[in-house]
Structure 1
């Protein structure tokens, strides 16, 4: 297969597949010029290779990580069981000329640069690592019980318009797609590409903390209920006949504070291909006050019934981390993070 400079490869563990991972995928996709066609192939490592090279299992298993990465709007397709050390032969088989990675160092079990062979071949491209978020940081919050914010207003102020606009882009990573509203549908923070009509909108509300593939499966079901042949997001072209999925992301409750900030949850949800817009910190009663096609609560039994990932919820994720507390405390300590 011919190597195409606009067919790029990005790989990783993608544990939690948080907005830092999504940001790396987005940055890689944006390396392809807006006026040129291209593809971004995402290679995801399996559990065994992560255990060997990181000394412990990921929080999310390989099946969950494959599905979550596949749902990313800027990912063309996923290659499962991608080698931990990036191999030219794998990229060649996919027709990818370059691998893209952040500006941080990634080593294998022997301490070797996972991208060393590709760098020597001149087939490595670098993007800036997303600051302020990592799987290590999220695990630290879970283990320590720490929270970044205790004040709702301060949490809302930390949501940056430029970040929202980038994560709201279509599959090419350049053109606008998603809407971002603040509190209600009258306050548009980021304008989407399609004509917004509440009557052609399915609205779902929840905190979407630790955004995972169980949430994504519910969003996919809402999309598929009304759009059997859904190509508009793939093409980045507005279709006034389509039903759009808008997600209301609520602030933390005092009795159940979120692990992740409102900004982190917003960026994670925006990166999902089944989402057409979000409402940040929706006012109470928004779901029932608007004339939308349907309105739902996250984890409604009708959305989780017989789901492949319906077993996943916040408690399951927390228990996975807490059950391996000693391992994660030691791993974080090696990275200079006290839990």
Structure 2
């Protein structure tokens, strides 16, 4: 993978309550999460630094896959690799923050710019649609000459909409479900971070208590 630096240090602030990142927790608890404003100012040149700068060759089989790609992790890498193997050019749609909130009921941890750069940093990705719509339209398929639309089997969060965003490519016979190689999700990653952070705090509190007890009971080596 290409090297990329993102502001994931905000995770501990975003997930202030452990129950808010529980895989089995309801949308109500997750709705308490808030994303912070981005200090990253994207320019075409800065974005191109993460892109391979290549366009699909004539007659290339363009594969399209979309998603939130929040807290870009190994599961994302593997599904993108699987998708890339189905064609010659991998086009990835990254949904905007508001669309993800409307779809899942809670916002992403990382904002659109960070998630976009995370996807672009993956070696299997050729191009990214920044702020891609949830529904795959005919205009998208025509404009980007999409030959195949794929979707993984690991889906994070539920959708409040009854509209199938892949209805059109399904009707055209260009839709395919790809088995996700890993079951990792952004929520499971965040949960792991919180668990480790809680364990770290408990270990330090225990250490401090031991040190306080030692100094309280400490006797001078030399005395009267």
- Superposition TM-score, scaled by structure 2 size: 0.58
1:295 and 2:170 correspond:
no
Instruction: Answer yes or no: is the 8 Å Cα contact 2:7–2:114 preserved in 1.
Output: no
SS of aligned partner of 1:294 = strand
Query: d(CA) in 1 for partners of 2:47 and 2:126?
Result: 13
State yes or no: 1:315 paired with 2:187: yes
Q: Please point out which of 84, 104, 109 is paired with 1:223.
A: 84
Q: How big is the shift at 1:197?
A: 5.9
- For structure 1, the 5+ residue unaligned runs are 1-71, 75-128, 150-154, 169-176, 178-191, 227-242, 332-339
Check the 8 A contact 2:96/2:131 in 1, yes or no: yes
Pick from 297, 304, 312: which aligns with 2:179? 304
Partner of 1:247: 92
Larger relative helix fraction: 2
The question of 1:137 aligning with 2:10 is answered: yes
Taking the aligned partners of 1:204 and 1:215, their CA distance within structure 2 comes to 11
Give aligned pairs, total. 157
Q: Return the index of the structure with the highest Cα Rg.
A: 2
Kindly provide the CA deviation profile for residues 105-153 of structure 1, in whole angstroms up to 9, marking residues without a partner as x: xxxxxxxxxxxxxxxxxxxxxxxx96xx44433333333734114xxxx
Residue 285 of structure 1 pairs with residue 160 of structure 2: no
Which residue, 29, 42, 49 being the options, matches 1:166?
49
Residue 276 in structure 1 maps to residue 126 in structure 2: yes
Q: Unpaired runs of 5+ in structure 2?
A: 18-32, 156-176, 204-224
CA shift in 2, pair 1:316/1:213, >3 Å: same
The 1:328/1:162 distance shift into structure 2, 3 A limit, reads farther
- TM-score in terms of structure 1 length: 0.40
Which structure exhibits the higher relative contact order, with contacts defined as CA atoms closer than 8 Å and separated by 6 or more residues? 2
Measure the CA separation in 1 of the matches of 2:9 and 2:135. 36
Say which of 117, 136, 146 aligns to 1:267: 117
Deviations 1:246-287 (A, max 9, x none): 100001223120000111011111111100010001135335
